[in-house]
Structure 1
Amino acid sequence: MKVLVLTGPESSGKSWLAGEIQARFGGVVVGEYVRHFIDEQRRDTCYADIAEIARGQLAWEDAARAAEPSLLILDTHLLSNMLWSHCLFGDCPDWLETELRARHYDQHLLLDPAGVPWVGDGQRCQPQLVERQAFHRACRDWLLRNGQPFSELSGNWSERRQAALVQVAALLGSADQHAGPGH
């Protein structure tokens, strides 16, 4: 099983790319638990919710891992939970980082916020590019500090899709690494 993580700031294409990757290569997509949590609770999150949200994200990830798909595509993982907790509340439960470091991920695709428009959806809260760029830097810094494998994706939607498909083909050892239309 190969485990791929899409990470980066909001509105950079993670969920869309997860679907594009699954459509091309199959596998199982694990979505963002926090979106489910907010829809279910019908309120903004508070610091006391962080642990529950993280446990929910891990439960979804663990259930998908247990099925042992050839490709597991994570729309997010605990890194986003940690960074959002720090961003919104100035703190984060220590166990999140410990748990994140204990898990194996084969590849992260880090999405740059520049080059694509921000789209509000009722849950997103960083319309300013400078805020999303800071979140992107925090993601990159954590991945680098912790020796995590990652590639950065940027450009317009088409360029991101193309780069993601090439990265996943390489991860899976696919003979076709062009991943263009018709492949």
Structure 2
Amino acid sequence: MKVLVLTGPESSGKSWLAAEIQARFGGVVVGEYVRHFIDAQQRDTCYTDIAEIARGQLAWEDAARAATPALLILDTHLLSNMLWSQCLFGDCPSWLEGELLARRYDQHLLLDPTGVPWVEDGQRCQPQLVERQAFHQACRDWLLANGQRFSELSGDWGQRRQAALGHVAALLGSTDQHAGPGH
């Protein structure tokens, strides 16, 4: 099983790319538990919700891992929970980082917010590019500091898709790295 993580700021294409990768290579996609949580609670999150949201994300991830698909595509993982907790509340439950580091991730695709528009969806809260760039940098800093394998994706939607499909083909050992349908 290869585990791929899409990470980076909101509105940079993580969910869209997860679907594109799954359509091309198959596999199982694990979405963002926080979106489910907010939809179910019908309110903004508060600091006391962070642990529950993180446990929910881990439960979804661990259930998908237990099925041992050839490719596991994570639309997010605990890094986002940690960074959002710090960003919104100035603190983060200490156990999150340990849980994140206890799991193996084969490749992270870090999405740059530059080059694509921010899209309001009712849950996003960083419309300013400078805020999303700071989040991107915090992701990059953590990945580097913790020796995580990652590649940065930037450009327009088409360039991101082509780069992502190429990285996943390489991860899976496929010699066919064409981004078009049917390849």
Flag whether TM exceeds 0.5 (same fold).
yes
Q: Is the 8 A contact 1:169 1:179 kept in 2?
A: no
SS of the counterpart of 1:124? coil
Counterpart for residue 156 of structure 1: 156
SS at 2:20 equivalent = helix
CA–CA distance in 2 between the matches of 1:45 and 1:138?
Answer: 21
Find the residue that maps to 2:72 and give its secondary structure: strand
CA displacement at 1:180 relative to structure 2:
3.5
Using the aligned pairs only, state the percent identity: 88
Moved over 3 A (4+): none
String of CA shifts for 1:24-78, please: whole Å, max 9, x gaps.
0000000000000000000000000000000000000000000000000000000
1:72 and 2:60 matched:
no
Structure 1: give runs of 5+ residues left out of the alignment: none
Specify the code of the residue in structure 2 equivalent to 1:4: L
Q: Give the equivalent residue in structure 2 for 1:61.
A: 61
CA separation in 2, counterparts of 1:86 and 1:142?
Answer: 13
Letter in structure 2 aligned against 1:147: G
In 2: Cα distance, 1:141 partner to 1:182 partner: 37
Residues 24 and 181, structure 2, Cα contact 8 Å, conserved in 1: no
Alignment RMSD: 0.7
In the alignment, is the contact (CA less than 8 A) between 2:3 and 2:74 conserved in 1? yes
- Is residue 141 from structure 1 mapped to residue 144 from structure 2 by the alignment? no
- Unaligned runs of 5+ residues in structure 2 are none
Amino acid at match of 2:179: A
- Superposition TM-score, scaled by structure 2 size: 0.99
CA displacement at 1:181 relative to structure 2: 4.8
Distance 2:100 2:175 in 1: 32
The residue number in structure 1 matching 2:112 is 112
Paired with 2:18 and 2:69, the residues of 1 have a C-alpha distance of 15
Which residue number in structure 1 is paired with residue 95 of structure 2?
Answer: 95
Aligned length in residues? 183
Q: Is 2:171 the partner of 1:171?
A: yes
Q: Structure 1-normalised TM-score? A: 0.99
The verdict on how the C-alpha distance between 1:172 and 1:132 changes in structure 2, with shifts beyond 3 A counting, is: same
CA distance in 1 between counterparts of 2:64 and 2:134 reads 31
